[in-house]
Homo-oligomer: A and B are copies of this chain.
Amino acid sequence: MPVRLDRSSADFDQRFAAFLAAKREASADVEAAARAIVDDVARRGDAALLEATAKFDRLRLDASSLRVSAAEIEAAVKACEPATLDALKLARDRIETYHRRQLPKDERFTDPLGVELGWRYTAIESAGLYVPGGTAAYPSSVLMNAVPAKVAGVSRLVMVVPSPDGKLNPLVLAAADLGGVTEIYRVGGAQAVAALAHGTATIAPVAKIVGPGNAYVAAAKRLVFGKVGIDMIAGPSEVLVIADDTGNADWIAADLLAQAEHDASAQSILITDSARLAADVEKAVEAQLKTLPRAAIASASWADFGAVIMVKNLTDAIPLADAIAAEHLEIMTVDPDALATNIRNAGAVFLGPHTPEAIGDYVGGSNHVLPTARSARFSSGLSVHDFMKRTSILKCGPDQLRALGPAAMTLGKAEGLDAHSRSIGLRLNLS
Contact = CB atoms under 8 A, between A and B. Distances in A.
Contacts of A355: 394-396, 401
A116 B21 CA distance: 34
B390 A81 contact: no
Contacts of A322: 125
Task: Select the residue from A347, A373, A424 with max chain B CB neighbours within 10 A.
Answer: A424
A288 B425 CA distance: 13
Nearest to A88: B411
Interface string A283-317: 00000100011100010000000000000000000
Contact of A397 (B352, B392, B423): B352
Contact of A357 (B229, B346, B423, B426): B423
Contact of A294 (B97, B336, B344, B417): B417
A219 B233 CA distance: 17
Contacts of A373: 226
A110 B145 CA distance: 24
Contacts of A111: 94, 97, 365
A260 interface: yes
Interface in A334-388: 336-337, 340-341, 344-367, 370-371, 373, 375-381, 383, 385
Nearest to A398: B354
Given A344-B122, A393-B351, A427 B356 contact: yes
Contacts of A426: 250-251, 254
Nearest to A399: B354
A16 interface: no
A352 B261 CA distance: 59
A91 B404 CA distance: 10
A391 interface: yes
A348 B119 CA distance: 8
A15 interface: no
Contacts of A353: 427
Contacts of A226: 233, 235, 373, 375
Interface string A390-419: 111111111011001101101110111111
Given A251-B427, A383-B390, 19 more contacts: A84-B414, A87-B414, A115-B365, A120-B341, A139-B415, A226-B375, A258-B420, A260-B419, A292-B418, A292-B419, A346-B391, A347-B391, A349-B391, A350-B394, A356-B427, A359-B401, A361-B408, A363-B411, A380-B391
